[in-house]
Structure formats: structure tokens, C-alpha cells
């Protein structure tokens, strides 16, 4: 006999630490099922810090349990400053408990919450595995595509979501072959005359915070977004400081390499790698690589990424893999990654749906 399903709120306080431990176990199970490893799984403390952060997004989390066993979880994000008509929703079910209605129950909870927050559009980034990445495909107007048969994509479409954007997931085994690094550097350096690099570990120097904020703000509306357009984010030095605090609060390290235009002193671009502080962690994640429009065409993206990866592997020789996501239509960045040796590793589909108002159901406390 299957135990009844209960949905338990996960408040942002230490008294509910066991619920964060349950979410951690669910993330580990899903990662092992889809990738065969536990790369980049957040720690319990990192999850609690993320849940408690309400500066830019109001978050609600729910845990699904049957008896004493966690079987799934979901999170809803309600942007506070920009994109106040939108809401994000994410649903995850333990691999052994799928196709039993748990995902539907979690999704119903999230969609109802979003409706009563008076949002008009909800979106969900769903993951598909390398084994699922095959024909037939669903294609966006930009020509990006996702596999129709992927379980997460099929579930979303069944629930009325439409494809808005697609990203390729890629992974790079590190350290890179030194001969390849040398070859790419030899091709790149002649184009970088007039620029110099700076590397920052776990902090951003005060003199670069304002230029960094300007780059982040411009990139927030410049990056490929597909059919779901987001408003430009507002960045200042305070938000930069908060970003650094958030990274540390989530128990991550980071290293950034930035390019300066020597003649003007302008910050031309930067690239960022993050990795968990978890002992024995073997994976890092490539975050944003941004080059200002005024400074494109000098191969700064390749230069910064090679230099930053070299800093990472020198500082953390235990790292063996770097993961990254890129918009499929971002051919320039994909070309850089492919040249460096990144290989496809599944993808993400951004699915969207208009909000329908429904009554809030009673749920367990």
C-alpha cells in the first residue's frame, strides 16, 4: 500500500534543517540518475542559505513526503524588482518515485501559489540527459531545439507549457592538454594587443565594482533569451557586494579573470568559475563570460577563459570537470567552448505558460 502524499512547507529557519537534508538527498539521487556523479550538488548549508535569501526574489519551497520518506520537492521564485509579472517554478521527483502523480501534485501547488501572487507568466527550466538528446526535436523560432521525447520536456508540454528557449549543457575534462592550450593562446594573443588581464579570487576589488556592475547590467538584457524576454537588471556596487556575499553564503569559491582596455582603463569583460567548498569536490561551473559590445572582436572571451581555467586548475588541482550551459543560438561562445574541448552533455529547455487563477488548496503544515 502506497503511503498518502503530504506537502510540507520549508520555511527559512534552522528548525527545519531536516527538510534541507531531505532536499539534498533528492538532488543527489537525481544527479546520480541523470549524470552518474554528484558534481556541483549544493551542501545542506548552501541550500538553507539560498532559501533564506529574499533580496531579489521571494522564494517558497515545498517538500513531498510519503510516510518518513522524501519523494520530491518544488520551489517557486517571485522576482521582487524586475520582471514582477513573471514567476519561476521547479519540480523534482526522486527517480524511483516518478510517474505516480507526485510531480503533478508539486506542480499544482506551485502554479496555485503563482496565480495568487498575481503573476501572469510562469517559466520552468527543465533538464534533459545526454541519452535523451535525439530525434524527434521541438524547435524554437531561433532554430534551437530540444528532444520531444525527453521525460521533463514531455511532462511540461502535457501540463500546457510551451518551449521558449533552449540551452546546451557541456562538460570539459580538466586539466586541458597543454599543447591545446598553447595552440589556442598562440592564435588568440595577437588579437589582444591593448588589453591586460586581472584575476580575482573570492573578491572583487573596490575599484572594479562599479565597472563590473555596468557590465552585468548591460549583459542582463544583451544575452540570448529566446521567446521569453526578461527586463534589464539594475546593478550597482551594493548589488555586487551582495552577489559576493551570496556566493560565500552558499559555500562556494570563485575565481574571475577580467580584461582591462589599457588606453581607457575600461573593464572590457570578465569570466567566472565557481566551485563548491565541499571537501573532495571534483567539478567547477563556468558562469558568465561577458565582453562589452565596444570591445568585441579581440578574442577576449577565449583569452579570459583560458587564463581563468589555468588559474583554477593551478589553485585546485583536484578539479576534474567544468560544466557550463550556453544558449544554443550563441554560436560565438559555443565555438570557443568547442575549441577548448567542451563536449555536449544534455541540455535545458525553458518552458513557459500563462497563469490561470485557481483557489488555494489546503495543505499540511
In the chain, domain spans: 5-168+349-354, 175-319
For 80, half-sphere exposure in the C-beta direction (CA atoms, 13 angstrom radius) is 7
Q: What CATH number should be reported for the domain whose range is 175-319?
A: 3.40.630.30
Q: Find how far residue 79's CA is from the centre of its chain.
A: 16
CATH topology of domain 5-168+349-354: Aminopeptidase (3.40.630)
Strand runs labelled E in 218-342: 252-261, 266-276, 283-291, 321-327
Measure the CA–CA gap between 355 and 336, rounded to whole angstroms: 38
pLDDT score at 227: 77
What are the residue ranges in the chain where pLDDT is below 50? 362, 364-365
Helix intervals (H) in 191-330: 206-222, 237-249, 300-315
DSSP code per residue over 140-203? -TTS-EEETTSHHHHHHHHTT-EEEEEEEEEEEESSPPHHHHHHHHHHHGGG-TTEEEEEEES-
Beta bridge mates, 154: none
C-beta of residue 344 within 8 angstroms of C-beta of residue 323:
no
Q: Is the dihedral of CA 59, 60, 65, 71 positive or negative?
A: negative
Which DSSP category does 43 fall into? P
Share of the chain above pLDDT 90, in %: 88
Q: Find how far residue 39's CA is from the centre of its chain.
A: 14
H or E element, residue 116: helix 102-116
What is the β-pairing status of strands 86-93 and 121-128?
parallel
Amino acid at each position: 500500500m502506497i503511503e498518502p502524499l503530504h506537502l510540507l512547507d520549508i520555511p527559512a529557519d534552522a528548525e527545519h534543517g531536516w527538510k534541507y537534508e531531505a532536499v539534498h538527498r533528492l538532488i543527489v539521487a537525481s544527479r546520480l540518475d541523470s549524470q552518474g556523479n554528484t558534481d556541483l550538488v549544493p551542501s545542506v548549508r548552501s541550500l538553507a542559505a539560498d532559501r533564506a535569501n529574499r533580496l531579489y526574489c521571494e522564494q517558497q519551497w515545498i517538500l513531498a513526503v510519503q510516510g518518513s520518506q522524501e519523494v520530491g520537492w518544488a520551489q517557486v521564485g517571485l522576482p521582487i524588482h524586475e520582471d514582477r509579472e513573471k514567476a519561476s517554478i521547479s519540480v523534482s521527483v526522486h527517480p524511483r518515485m516518478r510517474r505516480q502523480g507526485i510531480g503533478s501534485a508539486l506542480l499544482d501547488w506551485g502554479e496555485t501559489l503563482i496565480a495568487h501572487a498575481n503573476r501572469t507568466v510562469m517559466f520552468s527550466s527543465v533538464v534533459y540527459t545526454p541519452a535523451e538528446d535525439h530525434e524527434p526535436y521541438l524547435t524554437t523560432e531561433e532554430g534551437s531545439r530540444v528532444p520531444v521525447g525527453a521525460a521533463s520536456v514531455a511532462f511540461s508540454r502535457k501540463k500546457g507549457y510551451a518551449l521558449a528557449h533552449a540551452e546546451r549543457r557541456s562538460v570539459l575534462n580538466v586539466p586541458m592538454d597543454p599543447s591545446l592550450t598553447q595552440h589556442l593562446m598562440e592564435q588568440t594573443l595577437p588579437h589582444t594587443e591593448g588589453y591586460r588581464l586581472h584575476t580575482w579570487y573570492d573578491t572583487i576589488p573596490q575599484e572594479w565594482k562599479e565597472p563590473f556592475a555596468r557590465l552585468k547590467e548591460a549583459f542582463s538584457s544583451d544575452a540570448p533569451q529566446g521567446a521569453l524576454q526578461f527586463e534589464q537588471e539594475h546593478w550597482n556596487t551594493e548589488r555586487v557586494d551582495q552577489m559576493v556575499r551570496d556566493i560565500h553564503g552558499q559555500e562556494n569559491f570563485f575565481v574571475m579573470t577580467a580584461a582591462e582596455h589599457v588606453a581607457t582603463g575600461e573593464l572590457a569583460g570578465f569570466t567566472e568559475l565557481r566551485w563548491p567548498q565541499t571537501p573532495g569536490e571534483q567539478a567547477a561551473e563556468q558562469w558568465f563570460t561577458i565582453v562589452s559590445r565596444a570591445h568585441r572582436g579581440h578574442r577576449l572571451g577565449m583569452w579570459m577563459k583560458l587564463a581563468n581555467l589555468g588559474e583554477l586548475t593551478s589553485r585546485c588541482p583536484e578539479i576534474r570537470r567544468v560544466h557550463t550551459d550556453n544558449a544554443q543560438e550563441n554560436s560565438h561562445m559555443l565555438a570557443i567552448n568547442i575549441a577548448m574541448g567542451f563536449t555536449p552533455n544534455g541540455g535545458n529547455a525553458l518552458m513557459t505558460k500563462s497563469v490561470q487563477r485557481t483557489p488555494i488548496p489546503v495543505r499540511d503544515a
